[in-house]
Amino acid sequence: MEKIRLGRTEMMVTQLGFGGIPIQRVSEGEAIAIVQRCLELGITFLDTANGYTTSEERIGKAISGQHDGLILATKSTAQTREEIESHLKLSLERLGVESIDLYQFHNVSDANTLKTILDPDGPMAVAEEAKRAGVVKHIGITSHQIDTAIEAVKSDRFETIMFPFNFVTREATEELLPLAREHDVGFIAMKPLAGGMLDNVTLAIKYLRQFPNVVFIPGIERVPEIDEIAQILKMTWEMTAAEQEEMERLRQELGTKFCRRCDYCQPCQVEILISDVMSFRSAMKRLPPVRLFTGKFAEALEKAADCTECGECEERCPYHLPIRETIAENVRLYEAGKKEYQAQLASR
């Protein structure tokens, strides 16, 4: 599998990496099988986070005894020295390693948070001490907010930047990507499939391959998904006119206000699976009724009726999505669709 240089870290990593968010949603056995399949395919860059509940521990179990050649990346949302110290310790334990190749400040979304991190006595100082001690090899940052990401790259304190990037969410191409290149900061594309919203995986991967120094880390929930992407990587990345047109059509269809399934809005006080509920409208376009009105979607939508409209999730959503409004709308869609589905079943 093709490797590229991750900016000034000088680490050579596979352009296709593994995003560790979705393995929280499956069983431990399935999670381990997914990570091990990634290793079999030759993927060497695995990304997770302290905040992804079971993800680090599951990756740790999957890679046990096979660390050689792997580049492990994890993250912390810590804003104090104490917090980062405990997060780092926990990540090392969960991953079962003595050092972390890339330690990233997670989801830094405004100038104040960046300032707090970079305070001479703040979390960056701890990360740098850990780097001097060899416990952390490189330090990066992740953000969903373009101005903060630009400021972080300009600060020259981070060796990598992770930012959402796919053929619909392309704001990084304007300034951030050229700036990262100029500062030799490694660029990691999160949400290469827009959090599962881009069904046309071939187009999504071909688009990103046009950027030779970008590592992309799709979140993988099932083994066939990573197999499919690995196959696509063997194709030419040049797009036909028809593919360009299809990409444009999908851009128009999805717009910019869609849920990336990042789960930063969690936890919900009444345990609503917000991202499933938010994705219901698009799921209706591609899934058969049995998948919508029974099983996981049905459970999520039934539960969504309990929303208290507290608004806490909206404060946490980095894309400022109108979650409460969308939940109410999708519950209405679900109820109407369910009635129709039940009527169809009864008439058979």
Which parts of this chain interact with ligand SF4 (CB under 6 A)?
259-265, 268-270, 272, 274-275, 278, 307-313, 317, 319, 321, 323-324, 327
Least Cβ distance, residue 269 to ligand SF4 (angstroms): 5
Q: How many residues does the chain have?
A: 348
Closest CA relative to residue 17, chosen from 46, 59, 52? 46
Is the CB of 130 or the CB of 259 nearer to ligand SF4?
259
239: DSSP letter: P
Is the CB of 96 or the CB of 318 nearer to ligand SF4?
318
Helix (H) or strand (E) holding 5: strand 3-5
User: What are the angstrom distances between the C-alpha of 96 and each of 65, 85, 86, 99?
Assistant: 9, 17, 15, 9
Break the chain down into helix, strand, coil percent, rounded to 5. 50, 15, 35
Least Cβ distance, residue 271 to ligand SF4 (angstroms): 8
Least Cβ distance, residue 217 to ligand SF4 (angstroms): 16
Least Cβ distance, residue 330 to ligand SF4 (angstroms): 11
Q: CA torsion 39→45→48→54, rounded to 10°?
A: 10
Is the CB of 157 or the CB of 303 nearer to ligand SF4?
303
Least Cβ distance, residue 124 to ligand SF4 (angstroms): 25
User: DSSP letters along 168-208, please?
Assistant: S--GGGTTHHHHHHHTT-EEEEE-TTGGGT---HHHHHHHH
